[in-house]
Amino acid sequence: MKTLEGKVISNQMNQTVTVLISRQYRHPLYGKILTKRRKIHARDELGAKVGQWVKIVEVRPLAKTVSFKVTEILSSEEVKVK
| pLDDT, tens digit, 9 for 90 and up, residues 17-75 | 999 999 999 999 999 999 999 999 999 999 999 999 999 999 999 999 999 999 999 98
Candidates 73, 69, 36; CA nearest to 51 is: 73
Judged against a pLDDT cut of 90, whether residue 15 lies above it is answered with: yes
What fold is seen in the domain 3-73?
Answer: OB fold (Dihydrolipoamide Acetyltransferase, E2P) (2.40.50)
Determine the distance from the C-alpha atom of residue 47 to the mean position of all C-alpha atoms in its chain, rounded to a whole number.
14
pTM attached to this predicted model: 0.85
Q: What would the DSSP string read from start to end of 19-52?
A: EEEEEEEE-TTT--EEEEEEEEEEE-SS---TT-
Domain borders along the chain are 3-73
